[in-house]
Amino acid sequence: MATRTLLAAALAAAAFSPIVGAQAQSLTGSQVTAASYCCMTPTEPDRVTNSVTATVGPGVEFPQGSFTSLVGAPMTAPVTIDVGSSTIQLTYSAGGSTGPGGFNGFAFTFSGAPTITGVSLDPSSTYNPVLTFNANTVFVNEAGLTLTPTSTAIVNITAVPEPQSYALMVGGLALLGVMARRRKG
């Protein structure tokens, strides 16, 4: 009987451990590729800076000077971008107005990350870009905005574990139910 109980505890722990890890999952360790786009859509024909890839972790992923203009005179974007476990923070060091258009801003595409299910602007942000997303990309649209040398936007990202994590949880719960039924009988 003790062996059966120990086995049940081990199976339950194995079934629930991916869920605990999944809930604690973040963007940390994933790859993020970012670039700036203007003026219609965030697609390759409208990309106006180089595309840069970094691993999300401690430190600033894209320090000022990371993004260089591909159109006109070569110049770097005056922005520092830090991607955290559940945020993206953009901080400008120079002011100016962004061009109008359908989209003028950054796209952040993640690989090896949980599915993105929501984005919101943190109330401590000092400017208000329009935020959109899909399962693996966050879009920060700054079209028509005026930025100052201290403009900061903090994007909160909600991500959920992959479906297989939920399947493991359901399997673990079913196993516990079967074991409880056997124990009563």
28-78 pLDDT, tens digit per residue, is 999 999 999 999 999 999 999 999 999 999 999 999 999 999 988 778 999
With a cut of 60, say whether residue 13 has pLDDT above it: no
Among 28, 33, 133, 34, CA closest to 85:
28
| Higher per-residue pLDDT: 133 or 8 | 133
In sequence order, the β-bridge partners of residue 115 are 160
Among 140, 82, 61, CA closest to 106:
140
- Mean pLDDT for 1-12 is 47
Cβ within 8 Å of residue 41, ≥6 positions away: 102, 103
Q: How confident is the model at residue 184 (pLDDT cuts 50, 70, 90)?
A: low
Q: What's the confidence (pLDDT) of residue 75? A: 87
Q: What is the pTM of this model?
A: 0.76
Residues of the chain with pLDDT > 90, as a percent, come to 66
Q: What's the confidence (pLDDT) of residue 84? A: 96
With a cut of 80, say whether residue 109 has pLDDT above it: yes
* DSSP per-residue letters across the chain: -HHHHHHHHHHHHHHHHHHHHHHH--STT-EEEEEEEEES-SSGGGB-B--EEEE-SSS-SB-TTS-BBSSSS--B-SEEEEE-SSEEEEEESS-EE---SSEEEEEEEEESSPEEEEEEE-TT-SS--EEEE-SSEEEEE-TT-EE-TT-EEEEEEEEE--HHHHHHHHHHHHHHHHHHHHHH-
Q: Looking at mean pLDDT, say which of 12-21, 64-73, 97-106, 127-136 comes out highest.
A: 127-136
d(CA 166, CA 183): 26
Q: What's the confidence (pLDDT) of residue 177? A: 58
With a cut of 80, say whether residue 24 has pLDDT above it: no
What are the tens digits of pLDDT across the range 137-177?
A: 999 999 999 999 999 999 999 998 755 444 455 555 555 55
